Amino acid sequence: MWCLMMVGVVVAYECSKYIIRCIIRKEVRWRMVLLFISTIFPHYYGWWNYLNYYNEQFYSQWYHQLYFTVSEIISSGFILQLISKRANVETYHILVILSLNLSHIIIGGLDQFIINLLYGQGNRSQVYRDLGLVGPDFLAVLFISWETQILITERKCSLRSLFYKEELLLSFFVTSAIVLVGKSL
């Protein structure tokens, strides 16, 4: 378990170093920095859950948490890449980030978000936890939509011509599959 802790510390250090380097070189997309910072709580929450599950030998939620952790890491990796203005925003960046974060919103909404937050049946700690976990996903959808609009303006095209039909279909099926797999765990 100490290996997991050390990997987390090293990754956090390397991400911070990369962001600071981008800021110093004045080649930073501030929306992506804000989005990346917003994902700290979900990563911390997942990391802490692994420690608790292992310590308490509570393995029934292990794979469900693994789904969220892996998909959050993939999404954060793409977001981290887009922090630098040197990195071109491509349609696959947009679709991967959107697919993963929409799946989190759907699964989180079906699991707890609607009951705890919208219906007000959760206690205060559950509401704050759900906001901390689902909030970055909503922010990702918002900021990536904004980035899409910038890309449309730069390329002087329409939303329809920005993406290939195959990309959109693949994104839809992947999102649907992720939701089904994530919900079944």
Confidence check: pLDDT of 4 > 80: no
Which of 132, 75, 128 has the alpha carbon at shortest distance from 103?
75
165 vs 1: which has the higher pLDDT: 165
pLDDT of residue 98: 95
Residue 138: what residue type?
Answer: F
What are 104-153's pLDDT values in tens digits? 999 887 767 777 777 777 788 888 888 898 899 999 999 999 999 999 99
Distance from C-alpha of 130 to C-alpha of 98, rounded to nearest angstrom: 19
Rounded to two decimals, what is the model's pTM? 0.89
E-state strands within 76-138 = none
Q: What percent of the chain has pLDDT over 90?
A: 62
pLDDT of residue 65: 85
What are 74-87's pLDDT values in tens digits? 999 999 999 999 99
Q: What average pLDDT does the chain have?
A: 90
End-to-end Cα spacing for the chain? 23
What are 130-142's pLDDT values in tens digits? 889 889 999 999 9
pLDDT of residue 173: 94
pLDDT of residue 60: 81
Confidence of residue 34 (pLDDT cuts 50, 70, 90): very high
